[in-house]
Amino acid sequence: MEIGLNHYLILSTILFAIGLIGVMRRKNLLLLFFATEILLNSVNIAFAAISHFYGDLTGQMFAFFVIAIAASEVAVGLGLLIVWHKRHGTIDLDTMSTMRG
Amino acid sequence: MELYLYLALFAPLAGSLFAALFGASPKTIVAGLVPSILLFVSFVSSTILLVHILSGGAVVHVEMMTWMATGDLYIPFGFVVDQVSVTMMMVVTVVSTVVHFYSVGYMDHDKGFNRFFSYLSAFVFSMMVLVMSDNFAGLFIGWEGVGLCSWLLIGFWYHKESATWAANEAFIMNRIADLGMLIGIFLVYWNTGTLQYEQAFAAMPALEADILTLMGIFLFIGAMGKSAQFPLHTWLADAMEGPTPVSALIHAATMVTAGVYLVVRANPLYDLIPHVGIFIASLGAFVALFAASMALVNRDMKRIIAYSTLSQLGYMFVAAGLGAYWVALFHLMAHAFFKALLFLGAGNVMHAMHDELDPFKMGGLKKAMKWTFIMMTVASVALAGIYPLAGFFSKDLILEVAMIEHHYIIYSVLLFTAGLTAFYSFRLVALIFHGEERYKLFGVHPHEAYKFMLIAMSPLLILAVIAGSFKMTYFEMVTAVLPATEYHVHSALAYWIMTIGTQLFVIAAIAFAYKKYARSGITVPDGTSKMENRLCYKILSNQYYIPYVYEEYLVKPYRELSTVFWKQIDMKVVDATVDGIAGIIYGTGEKTRDMQSGNLSTMLKWMVAGTVGLLSLAVVFGLAVRYSVEIKAILSGLGV
């Protein structure tokens, strides 16, 4: 069986769903970051696949942008996470409720 | 000449603003003197303008600035000094200058001294705008301005319940009439396309008679309110709650004559609709008699004079209605002088008697108040129309006009009223100044007013005596803009019979008043005497029960209706709707508050839900666009 565009897109959708469920269910901040990474990378897969399908490099270029931004996001996020852990000794999401209205 | 026009117009405003600066501070004599002096400046400027017009100078017409200019509508702030408005300016500035100087003494002990002068000067400014405007819109501004100032001044002693009530009554009555006036002005604009007097009147002869009649009637309704003609007359007598100088200036000499001025100003219109003129004249004659009859029995000094004003306004409307505009304006001028004098004299008496108004409690004041006695007597003689004082020339002329125009009923009514006028005027004079000194029973020690107040009144005294001699000069002046009809009875014999007959009748009325009220042995009526229990006395002293009827059949039902509307419609529909909207918003906020739990994971769930929602919308929309043709076919198949 030839592996075509649809397979990639289905993989991308499955990964996106996994990431989305992770974002909703995870209580650990670190794992939340993982879930976000899965979300971003599912989109990257879709970009790369579609770009290859049309023979247009713009999609792959976008994928690189996303990777770059994801990397910087993780760098900032991890820094904040460490500071938070030093202050409170925990990275459980349920303890972060200073924004309560 | 433009400079003098602006000086005459804006000096009172400057005075008003100056006095207003001291509005909240205790009495400062400067706050009274500066407006008075500025009014004197206004008076001098008006005199210069009068001399200019008299010596054949051109009409002064200025356009200060554009007020409204949209599409076809163009209304400037324009002012005109012609023969008619200069007459009014003279009347207004003379009387108001006198009243201002007089008030410096009269309001001497009043806490609101500064405030009083601010209002009074503001009134004069509004009145000047009213008479000097060259279009209906400016006239209307002045019209409302004098109404406002009249409200402020009637209710000047606002701590008195009766004063605030009277002020509101005057204001509301005038509002009813002003609606008519506004409709009249709208009609003028719709049909002539302009509000400038000259162009509007020039366009009128081409219009249909029905429209002109409507215009005339609606404008006259406005005049009826301001000039307190029946059935809108009740406010004028109640307006006597205000300080006496106010009654002299506003409710005798100037503001109430604005209605007459309006009819005179609109003379090209009223000339085209003589049937409305007849109505005006008939109403005027009716009011003259009606008001005079109420003055016969009244026991309030100021109200008697107020009814007399009403009656004289009736005379003016007779003249204006019959097309004798210059006669109406002449009587307006003469009346302003002697009636203001009469009111100011009454003010002196009130001061001397510690605000007592019942002339039955006075008597014999001529010894203590010689000058006031002389002035009030002269004013009353002038009012009664005895030769050679002002009233003789102007009032007799109105009688002649009625005779020559063949309105014999109006003539007899007016002749009879002239007798009543003489009777009630001298009833008042006799009760106040002659007879026994009844005031001693009440422990009052009357004193004459300050000398400068008497001096301030003297110009009016002189004018009340000599105003009649201006008749021919005046006639030549105003007939440049008003119809120049000279009224002469055809045969000299008839003229002399009429004049002498009227004079004898009036003198007889005066003699009767003196005989009845100047004798000794008059007691304060206590409701037991035979006369007081007669039906006609009761009807007259209760003002024909008209205030009672208004209260019972208009005010009370209206109040009931308002209560129903308030409780049923305002509370249950309007308020409920507004409260409901507020309640929904508040409730939504209260319920969705839980979303802001501050828990990151809950927020993320909401975010995902939002994303899913938006995505599904996008998909649905995309599908709808893609299959729009099919959807339309299905919908048309369903008959939508």
Tens-place pLDDT, residues B223-272: 999 998 888 888 998 899 889 999 999 888 889 999 999 999 999 999 99
Residue B124 backbone phi and psi in degrees, to 5: -60, -40
Q: Chain B closest CA to A31's CA: distance in Å?
A: 12
Q: pLDDT tens across B70-88, in order?
A: 888 888 888 999 888 998 9
Closest CA to B249 of B369, B102, B442: B102
Contact A93 B593 (CB under 8 A): no
- A12 has a pLDDT exceeding 90: yes
Residue B29 backbone phi and psi in degrees, to 5: -65, -30
Q: A23: pLDDT confidence band, cut at 50, 70 and 90?
A: confident
- B621 has a pLDDT exceeding 90: yes
Q: B286: pLDDT confidence band, cut at 50, 70 and 90?
A: very high
Identify whether A44 is part of a domain: yes
Q: Which of these ranges, A72-76, B164-168, B439-443, B495-499, has the smallest mean pLDDT?
A: B439-443
Number of domains in chain A: 1
Average pLDDT score over residue span B163-182: 92
Please give the helix or strand (H or E) that residue B612 lies within, else none: helix B600-626
Identify whether A81 is part of a domain: yes
CB B75 within 8 A of CB B135: yes
Position with higher pLDDT, B248 vs B524: B248
Question: CA A57, CA A51: separation in Å to the nearest integer?
Answer: 6
Closest CA to A35 of A48, A18, A54: A18
* Percent of chain B surpassing pLDDT 90: 48
Identify whether A74 is part of a domain: yes
Identify whether A88 is part of a domain: yes
CB A43 within 8 A of CB A64: no
Contact A100 B596 (CB under 8 A): yes
pLDDT attached to residue B539: 83
Q: B640: pLDDT confidence band, cut at 50, 70 and 90?
A: low
Q: pLDDT tens across B428-442, in order?
A: 998 888 888 888 888
Q: Chain A closest CA to B626's CA: distance in Å?
A: 22
> Which residues 19-58 of A have a C-beta within 8 angstroms of B?
20, 23-24, 26-27
Average pLDDT score over residue span B522-547: 79
pLDDT attached to residue B541: 81
Whether omega before B388 lies within 30 degrees of 0, making that bond cis, reads: yes
Report the phi/psi class of residue B354: left, alpha or beta, with left for phi > 0 and alpha for psi in -120 to 50.
left
Residue B368 backbone phi and psi in degrees, to 5: -75, -30
Q: Which of these ranges, A73-77, B266-270, B279-283, B522-526, has the smallest mean pLDDT?
A: B522-526
DSSP class of residue B78? E
How many Cα atoms are found within 13 Å in the side-chain-facing hemisphere of B384?
Answer: 29
Question: CA B210, CA B216: separation in Å to the nearest integer?
Answer: 10
Average pLDDT score over residue span B262-284: 92
Q: B126: pLDDT confidence band, cut at 50, 70 and 90?
A: very high
Q: Which domain holds residue A45?
A: 5-96
Q: What token pair was written down for B32? A: 């009274």
- B598 has a pLDDT exceeding 80: no
Position with higher pLDDT, B27 vs A46: A46
CB B415 within 8 A of CB B500: no
Average pLDDT score over residue span B313-324: 91
- What's the complex ipTM? 0.80
Using a CB-CB cut-off of 8 Å, the residues of chain A touching B595 are 101
pLDDT attached to residue B59: 86
- B584 has a pLDDT exceeding 90: yes
Q: What token pair was written down for B626? A: 């893609």
- B394 has a pLDDT exceeding 70: yes
How many CB atoms lie under 10 A from the CB of residue B561?
10
Q: Which of these ranges, B83-87, B159-163, B403-407, has the smallest mean pLDDT?
A: B403-407
Alpha-carbon torsion (B404, B408, B414, B416), positive or negative = positive
Burial level of B612, CB count in 10 A (0-12/13-18/19+)? exposed
Residue B298 to residues A44, B152, B294, B366, B379, Cα–Cα distance (Å): 103, 26, 7, 22, 19
Closest Cβ–Cβ partner in B593, B595, B600 for A93: B600
Report the phi/psi class of residue A93: left, alpha or beta, with left for phi > 0 and alpha for psi in -120 to 50.
alpha
* Percent of chain B surpassing pLDDT 70: 100
Mean pLDDT for chain B?
Answer: 89
Residue B11 backbone phi and psi in degrees, to 5: -60, -45
Identify whether A29 is part of a domain: yes
Question: CA B560, CA B547: separation in Å to the nearest integer?
Answer: 18
pLDDT attached to residue B606: 87
Identify whether A57 is part of a domain: yes
- B446 has a pLDDT exceeding 90: no
- A100 has a pLDDT exceeding 80: no
- B455 has a pLDDT exceeding 80: yes
- A15 has a pLDDT exceeding 90: yes
The size of chain B, in residues, is: 640
Closest CA to B607 of A101, A52, A23: A23
Three-state helix/strand/coil letters over B524-574: CCCCCCCHHHCHHHHHHHCHHHHHHHHHHHHHHHHHHHHHHHHHHHHHHHH
- B589 has a pLDDT exceeding 80: yes
Using a CB-CB cut-off of 8 Å, the residues of chain A touching B597 are 97, 100-101
CB B334 within 8 A of CB B390: yes
- B179 has a pLDDT exceeding 90: yes
Single-letter code of the amino acid located at B626? R
Helix (H, G, I), strand (E, B) or coil at B127: helix
CATH number for the domain harbouring residue A39: 1.10.287.3510
Q: Which of these ranges, B92-106, B225-239, B598-612, has the smallest mean pLDDT?
A: B598-612
Average pLDDT score over residue span B131-144: 92
Question: CA B637, CA B639: separation in Å to the nearest integer?
Answer: 5
pLDDT attached to residue B212: 92
CB B299 within 8 A of CB B242: no
Using a CB-CB cut-off of 8 Å, the residues of chain A touching B601 are 24, 26-27, 93-94
CB B223 within 8 A of CB B262: yes
Q: A101: pLDDT confidence band, cut at 50, 70 and 90?
A: low
Residue B521 to residues B436, B516, B525, Cα–Cα distance (Å): 7, 11, 12
Question: CA B246, CA B365: separation in Å to the nearest integer?
Answer: 24
CB B325 within 8 A of CB B483: yes
Q: B594: pLDDT confidence band, cut at 50, 70 and 90?
A: confident
Average pLDDT score over residue span B445-469: 87
Identify whether A52 is part of a domain: yes
Question: CA B270, CA B275: separation in Å to the nearest integer?
Answer: 9
Q: Chain B closest CA to A93's CA: distance in Å?
A: 6
Identify whether A101 is part of a domain: no
Closest CA to A51 of A3, A2, A5: A5
Q: Chain A closest CA to B597's CA: distance in Å?
A: 5
